[in-house]
A = this chain, B = another copy of it.
Amino acid sequence: MDSQLFGACPLNKQIDLYFDFSSPYSYLAVARVDKLAAAHEIKVRLIPVVLGAIFNRLGWQSSPFLAQPRKLAYMWQDVKRQAKKYSLEFEQPTQFPIGSILPARIATAFSDAPWLHDFCVQVFKAYFARNKDISNPETIEKILKQMDLDPQEILPRASSQETKDRLKLITEQADDLQIFGAPTFIVHDQLFWGDDRLEDAIEFCLRGEH
């Protein structure tokens, strides 16, 4: 279990993708990564973090985008254009940011599940394409049911103390890794920030150097 927590093995073709369900560029990266990585036989670990906790440690109240209306307005315009470029559905949600702890705990508790990537994409799309309130347990339950998963089995494990502690620990480790935003890709000892660095992260993973 611990080997999952501490860095990627430098000999493996593996990318650790740190994300928060409330982060629009994380949506783009998580939705794109599987196809790109699979084409190169790269393993991807999707690692949810509580980005707000990292922001707080850095002395920020919230997302740096929120601190400046002009930058925030541009961000939405940019995400919309990027989503179109990648043929991903997108609609600006009315509430931003949003509480993302419940889906983050599910992704933490079920980090090995074969349905993890699909679940993450479904949650992202609920929020960033269908304006659903992903902080509402009913939204998450509905997603699980639509995926033929059993909320009665999944939700209790997601809200267990073990899962809570684990998500907290992973967030602290992300902070130790000098992460300051999402998505962040960690490949070997290199940190790549932002959806636009996904291709660079893959290239680095393949070559083992940059």
Residues of A within 8 A of B (CB): 58-59, 64, 68, 70-71, 73-74, 77-78, 81, 84-85, 178, 180-181, 190-194, 196-197, 200, 210
With both beta carbons as reference points, the residue of chain B lying nearest to A192 in the complex is identified as B78
Tell me if B70 and A191 are in contact (CB < 8 A). no
A58, A68, A70 interface centre (most CB from chain B within 10 Å): A70
With both beta carbons as reference points, the residue of chain B lying nearest to A71 in the complex is identified as B180
7 pairs from A and B in contact (CB 8 Å cutoff): A70-B178, A71-B180, A74-B178, A74-B180, A78-B193, A81-B200, A84-B210
With both beta carbons as reference points, the residue of chain B lying nearest to A59 in the complex is identified as B68
Tell me if A58 and B74 are in contact (CB < 8 A). no
Cα–Cα, bound, A158→B25 (Å) = 42
